[in-house]
Structures are given as structure tokens and as C-alpha cells.
Chains A and B, each alone.
Chain A
């Protein structure tokens, strides 16, 4: 059992996640472009987009209520707060408890709920459509994700991610059991859904037939849209961080030593890069599923997660 992470480190890790979020998106876009034999934009493009949006003015729909302006703020805050719960460079519970994996999923769900509420505010059909679809997929993804978390938590005896990573720190992929493989398979199925990518959602298009998440952002503009974009970048890296904390806690530093922390940061970058490559590969090699096929696709994840849990408990 390793020591506890001081609160300052937790906050630094959280800031790191927020700052690196757009980079992951940029990397995925670049990888996708290369896989599709295009040159593609530079990997820093999301940062340029964000700064551009922050410099712009705001146009707001005339039917919106007072909530609309605060939606991007609250969504961003909830997503970033979820980022504080992921161990990035060092294992072990935070010195003062914050939240566990259930709380993390709860905060992400809060962000999603508020986004959907904001989408309904402008009173356009696109927003409603996006919100309706997103809120259909979300209740199907969440229980499966929760089951994967439970399958790990039952083995580790805690749902706190830092402590969980610390307890499983020694187990590298050789020590994996069937339950881990199945849980990981479930995560691989869920990852595109949770990060809003093909085959569930398509982040590149604003076509009403295909979009889920983008549809909900249509009425936001300027800095508000910037906040929403930053929130979705953060959400992506937080989800990837959750997966690496659950399945690949290897490399996380044990103590406060500088080399350990640097090594942890390097390991984290490597893990995120691998998962990002996976997402880019999936996005380039599959078509988007028809919306009503998505539940069947998620069903594969459900079966894997249920089997993983069963193996862990029986």
C-alpha cells in the first residue's frame, strides 16, 4: 500500500488533464487523417480552435432562459471535477478523500444531463434530437461501465481509483485473469460510446442524421461553445484515464520522488496514446451504426461485463 497523494498533487494532476485534453483530440484527428491518406491539421489545432472561440462574441437564441448562459460553465466545472478523481502520475488515495469511481461517473452524468437540458433550451429541433439521442445512449452505457468498475472493485476491495490503482499496481498484463480480459473487452466496446466517436456518434459532422453530442452544441457560440468543447476534450481524456487506472495501473509512482513522478507521467502519456490510437483505428475502419443498432452493439459490452463480474464473484 502506497502513501496518500497530497491535495496539491491532485489539483496539479487535474490541471494537467485539462491542459492535455485538446492534445489527445488533436492526436486522434491527425492519426485519422494519416490513416485516411490525408495530411490533416496539426495536432495543436484544437488549442487554436479554443483560443479563437474565446476571442469571439456570443450570439444567443432569443428564446433561451437564464439557465442557458450558465450551462457551459457548469458542464465544464463538472467534467473537470471528474478529472480530479483520476490518478494520473501517482497511485494511492488522495490525502483528503474526494470521490471514487461512482462519483466520477456521477459527475460525468451531471455534465451530460446539463448539456441535454441546455440543448432543449433554444427550442430548435436539432438540440432536442441530440438531447433525446444522447439521453437514450447514456442510460445504456452507464450501467455497463458501472459493472466493469464493479468487477475490478470486487477484486481490489475499493472503488476509490487511486487506492484501487495502488492495490493492483503490481499486476501487469501477465497477472490478468479471464475477468480482466472480459472487462477490458467490454471497455473497448464502450469507449467509442463514452467518448462520442464512431460507431456510436460522429464528432466530425453536424448532419442531423448522424449527430448526437454535436447536435446539443449547435446553439452555443463564442466562449460558451469554447467551454463546451473544452469539456468534451476533458471528458475524453478523463474516460481514457479511468480506463488506464482500472486496467493499466502500471507505471504510476509509488512515492513522491521526482523520477517516479516523471516516470508516471511518461507511462500515462504512453497509455493514453495507445488508447487514442485504438480510437483512431476504430473510427477509420468502421462506419457509423444506425442509431437503433447501437443498443445491440452496446449489448456486446453488457454481456462481456456481466460475464466478467460473474467470473469474479462465482
Chain B
């Protein structure tokens, strides 16, 4: 597989002769790599649950043996990567052709090279068997995605987004480095087995410190509030199929890291995880979910809105992960509830990859046909791009956690796990868990509001600008990419029981407890069931398949009713606008749609609003009104601006001391050396 991605990267050399050829071959290689990835992961997932595939790599460094090891967890994340990579590889060439037809061959070569490197590195991170491979591919993933973010640069905006992205993720990588190096120093080797053994005799404080270092590093990459500020800038900047990969998959690689550290590398040999871990993860998950969706509501840039929804969904995944951490090894009877919580998180991982990939590809189709990202300038696209609109609506229903699609399944499981957790933990702990469930419900409702807005304003009504008016349907290969992800959404929604089989290996690998399918689909693959109390195992049961069948049957009946008793063809007439002739300005705008919620949650949004009026002589004749409004990200103003202010104040202070004379600097160096010797020299003795 790595070879195929490598071939794809090499194919960028073809660009010397022809940019189109390089695009075609490069994406084809990426597609082949993704298909091989699918095969490998399915092979591991459907095989013996405890099996681990180990593949030594050539010795590149004298001090470390490199290897790949694919256990259940790795294989599952490899599956997630490959699912979206297939769609991106199908979608990519046509998108790049349509969006920027006059791109220079060198740029196309860079695109292809970075795409293949990005996919390859993500796969390698998940399959890494030692710390060095992990860190190297982690860095490769960051660099490749940086290239992709800035590749589409027109006005310098993307370069700034890319810079912020680089700074933030490297700050995170530093934390990861510290965590990993602390472990490797103790182990004296780099491979995970040695690290695991070395972590076995850590004391509690060191273990927790290392975990929080790793959590900080991964949370930066995952875009957890308040470390998310780079995400809504960098994700929209990349080409749309890359946005799909970054949002749908790259964030999941960070989730993989959290799971690998918490349940595998740093987990104590016996007994539950330290309680601070799980509660922290649950807390940041809930915060991210609610704040992510709230900020998404106020975005009018389609891709930026989707990027904020990634923050929300990562939050939902972390709620499941946090709950699993809290419950792990705490309950008897095989820990069925822990398995449910982890299953919910893992299922939401693949679900989010599918629907967020689909939505980003849909937004990409809109973008390449209209060259507009601001939805206030769109509208009426459903008549012009019916396939894109239909698939976007499918993704919107899925991400809003509405039945019968896949988003609902994983949120249902999360709800059940939270309720089960709440009834195990009495007292304040239970209340926190239930509050988290209520916040999850709020998140779902707000997501539905947000996507009613996003879909309605972008695709329905009248076109607001000529860009939207002259849009045409996207080319077939782009639609094919979207159909693939749409099919995954429907399949995971209507028959989730069959997908549970794939979750057996990761849950067993991490928890050493019962298999996911044994817990959740105890009553056959068509039924999802679980018990809230320890005694009842299948007190609550739902069947997505039956509900979907019922919905289809009822739709058929309702369709007959809809045709009515009089078979007259429908007349068309202009929309009633109180006697005026309807224009696009009568359409409700995204700003107006979200205004009530902006006022309800004003405390969190702190909306700014400037209205200026130009009057002609008297104040009663208004010639022109100018309205400007914006919603600021609280974490940006409250945290980052203060940090920025602090740093600039500090640099000002330092600048005042830099006289430019060499003697002064030498004195500083000597002083620093003296202090360092004093501090660490004393420690040595």
C-alpha cells in the first residue's frame, strides 16, 4: 500500500510532460492505495480478533528498529482513512480541473505529491509499531497537509491560515515528542511493546502527566475547544476533497492517538484508569460539541461552517471516549457498558468521516461551479445541481443525527451509554454524565437548525447572484465520489448491526472485554439492544432496519394521499410576497435565519453590530443603510488575543534591553549559563 502511495507521489514527476497525466495517474495510485488499505483493514478486522499483523521495516536509523504493526484498532482507523480516500481519489482530478483549469503543471505536481504523501502518512501513523515511525509519519502528515492548505492560494489568506496551522500543530507535536521521549528514555527502545512494558512501572503522577501531555498534543490536532482556532481557517482553505480528508480523517488520526495512549500505552496494568483522565476528556468533549455547533450556526462561509461542525463531532466522539475511560475496569460482569461507550465513539468516528466527507465534497461541487463560498451569494442551486443538492441533503440529515441515517445510530449509542453510566454512578458524577447527555441533545437540535439553514440558503429559493444563477451540475466523477460516501451513510444507518462486526477487533484490542457485536447486537444483526442496568442486557432495543422499512412503506402510502383525489397537474404561480413582484431579496438570508439563536445565546456569541445610516437632509429620509455584524470566537478573543498581547509585551520588553552591543549579549549568555549551572549542577549531586 505504501508502495502504491509512493508510486502516486512519484507520478508527480510526470507533470514535467503533462499536468493532466500527473493528476490522473496520481489519483489513480491514491485510489489503488486506498483500495489496498480497505483490503488490509477488512482482512484484519474480520479475522481473528486478537491477531496483530507485524511487518518490520528496513533499518533506516542505527539506534531504532522500525516496524509496522496492525492490530484491531489500527485496522479500524485504516478502514476509516481508506473509505474517505476512495471518495477523494475519485473526486479529486475532476475537481482540480474544474476549479482551477489554468493551474500550472508544477502546482498540479505538488498537489498530487502532497495528496499521496498525506494519505500515506496518515495510514502509517495508524499502523506504526514504534514511536519513531509514529512521530515521523505524524510530522509528514502535518507537512503534506500544510502544502495542500497553501496550494490553493490566491490572496494570501490561505498562507496565513497555513501559518497558523503550522504553529498550532507544531506546538502540539512538541507535547507529543516530550511524552514519547520520556517513555522511550525509560524503555531504551522505540517499539510500542517496550514502551508498554516501561509504562507498567510508572508512578501515578508521572503517568497522568504523560497522558495530559499526549492529550494536549492530540487535542490540538483534533481541534478540541479551545485549541481549535486553526481548524476553521485551515480546513476551508484546502481544495475541497482535501478538506474532506482533513476534516473527515486527519482529525480521527488524533483520536486514534488518544485511544492508543489511554487504553494501550499508558494504561495501568490493572485497575481503572486514573479518574482525572476520563472526566477531563468527557468535559472537553462536551464543551467542544456545544461550542462547535454554536459557532457553526453563525458562519456564512459554507466550508467554514462545516469545519466548525468537525469541532462539534470530535466533541461527540470524545464524549464516548471519555465515558469509556471513566467506566473501564470499574464495573464487573465483563464491562459491557464500557464496550458500548467505546463502540459509540468508534462508530461515530466512521460515521463522521462518511457524512463530513460527503458534505465537504458537496460544498466543493458548489464551489467549483460558482466560485463562491459565502452562502449569502448562493441560492437556487437545487434546480441547477439536483444531484449535489440531494446528496448534500442526505449528508445534512445524517450529521443532524436524524433517523434513519448513520448519525442517529452513533448518537443513540452515546445516549444509551451516558444513561447507563448515569444510573451506575449515583451522586454528582451521575449528574455530570446526564448533563453531558442533555448537552448532546442540545447539540443535535442545533445541528439540525444549522443544516436547515445551510441547505436552505445555499440550495433553495432563488439564486442571489449571477454566480449561482449560471451554475451547472458537477461532472459525473465528482458525483460518483459523493455517491460512494452517501451509500456508506445509508448503509451504516439502515443496517448498523452488520458494521458492529467490524468493531469487534478494536474493542477487544483496547478493552480486552466482550466484543462489540456481542454486546450491542445480541439479538441479531437487525436489532441494536442494550440494557441500562447491569442486570438487563437487552432492555432497550431498536431496529434501524425496521424503522427504515416502516418509513419507506409509509412514504409510499403518503405519496398516494399526496396525489389527491383530483388528478390535475399542479399549477405554478409566483410566490406570494404581499403584492410585490418577488425577487431574490425576499429570500431569507443565513444571517437572518440564525438571528434568533444569536440573540438567545448572545452571552456566548458577544455579537458585534454596526449600523450606519445615510440620510438626505432630514433624518426621516434614509438613503442608504449599511449593516455590519460579526460573531467572535470567544476562545480567540479571551485566550489567544491575551496570549498574543502578552507575547508582544514581552518582546517589547526584551527589545528595550537589546542594545545592539555585543558585550551586553555575552553578559546575558554568561548569566544564563551561570543560572543553569547553579540550578542543574546542584540537582546532580
Q: Which residues of A are interface residues toward B (Cβ below 8 A)?
A: 54-63, 65-67, 69, 72-74, 76-78, 80-81, 84, 93, 96-100, 102-103, 106-107, 109-110, 112-113, 116-117, 119-125, 127-129, 131-133, 135-136, 138-144, 146-147, 150, 153-154, 157-160, 163, 218-219, 222-224, 226-227, 230, 291-292, 295, 306, 309-310, 313-314
Question: Chain B's interface: helix, strand, loop or mixed, by majority?
Answer: helix
Query: Are the C-beta atoms of B449 and A110 separated by less than 8 Å?
Result: no
Known contacts A84-B550, A103-B542, A123-B575; A223 and B453 CB within 8 A of each other: no
Query: Are the C-beta atoms of A125 and B577 separated by less than 8 Å?
Result: yes
Partner of A120, one of B461, B547, B571, B600: B461
Which residues on the A side are within 8 Å of B527 (C-beta)?
Answer: 96-97
- Cα A112 to Cα B397 in complex, Å, equals 11
B14: CB under 8 A from chain A? no
Which residues on the B side are within 8 Å of A80 (C-beta)?
Answer: 554, 558
Which residues on the B side are within 8 Å of A102 (C-beta)?
Answer: 412, 415
- Cα A223 to Cα B558 in complex, Å, equals 10
Query: Are the C-beta atoms of B444 and A142 separated by less than 8 Å?
Result: yes
Query: Are the C-beta atoms of B566 and A154 separated by less than 8 Å?
Result: no
Known contacts A103-B412, A313-B427; A154 and B422 CB within 8 A of each other: yes
Query: Are the C-beta atoms of B561 and A227 separated by less than 8 Å?
Result: yes
Query: Are the C-beta atoms of A98 and B559 separated by less than 8 Å?
Result: no
B184: CB under 8 A from chain A? no
Query: Are the C-beta atoms of A143 and B460 separated by less than 8 Å?
Result: no
**Shortest Cβ gap from A304 to chain B (Å):** 13
Query: Are the C-beta atoms of B543 and A113 separated by less than 8 Å?
Result: no
Query: Are the C-beta atoms of A142 and B441 separated by less than 8 Å?
Result: yes
Query: Are the C-beta atoms of B423 and A117 separated by less than 8 Å?
Result: no
B46: CB under 8 A from chain A? no
Query: Are the C-beta atoms of A158 and B572 separated by less than 8 Å?
Result: no
Query: Are the C-beta atoms of B426 and A109 separated by less than 8 Å?
Result: no
Partner of A98, one of B386, B416, B550: B550
Which residues on the B side are within 8 Å of A60 (C-beta)?
Answer: 570-573
Query: Are the C-beta atoms of B595 and A153 separated by less than 8 Å?
Result: no
**Shortest Cβ gap from B432 to chain A (Å):** 10
Q: Mark B372-400, 1 if CB is under 8 A from A, else 0.
A: 00000001101100100110010001001
Which residues on the A side are within 8 Å of B446 (C-beta)?
Answer: 139
Q: Which of B536, B540, B568 has the most CB of A within 10 A?
A: B540
Interchain Cβ contacts under 8 Å between A and B, 14 examples: A56-B564, A65-B460, A67-B393, A76-B561, A102-B415, A117-B393, A123-B462, A128-B592, A135-B452, A139-B442, A143-B442, A158-B540, A222-B564, A313-B426
Query: Are the C-beta atoms of B438 and A146 separated by less than 8 Å?
Result: yes
Interface window among B16-24, B303-311, B401-409:
B401-409
Interface window among B345-353, B582-590, B641-649:
B582-590
- Cα A218 to Cα B383 in complex, Å, equals 21
Query: Are the C-beta atoms of A147 and B438 separated by less than 8 Å?
Result: yes
**Shortest Cβ gap from A303 to chain B (Å):** 12
- Cα A138 to Cα B445 in complex, Å, equals 7
Which residues on the B side are within 8 Å of A227 (C-beta)?
Answer: 558, 561-562
Which residues on the A side are within 8 Å of B525 (C-beta)?
Answer: none
Which residues on the A side are within 8 Å of B574 (C-beta)?
Answer: 61-63
Which residues on the B side are within 8 Å of A139 (C-beta)?
Answer: 442, 444-446, 448-449, 597
Which residues on the A side are within 8 Å of B576 (C-beta)?
Answer: 124, 218-219
Which residues on the A side are within 8 Å of B597 (C-beta)?
Answer: 135-136, 139
Query: Are the C-beta atoms of B532 and A96 separated by less than 8 Å?
Result: no
Q: Which of B541, B557, B592 has the most CB of A within 10 A?
A: B541
**Shortest Cβ gap from A18 to chain B (Å):** 10
- Near A by CB (< 8 A), chain B positions 523-551 give 523, 527, 529, 531-533, 536, 539-543, 546-547, 550-551
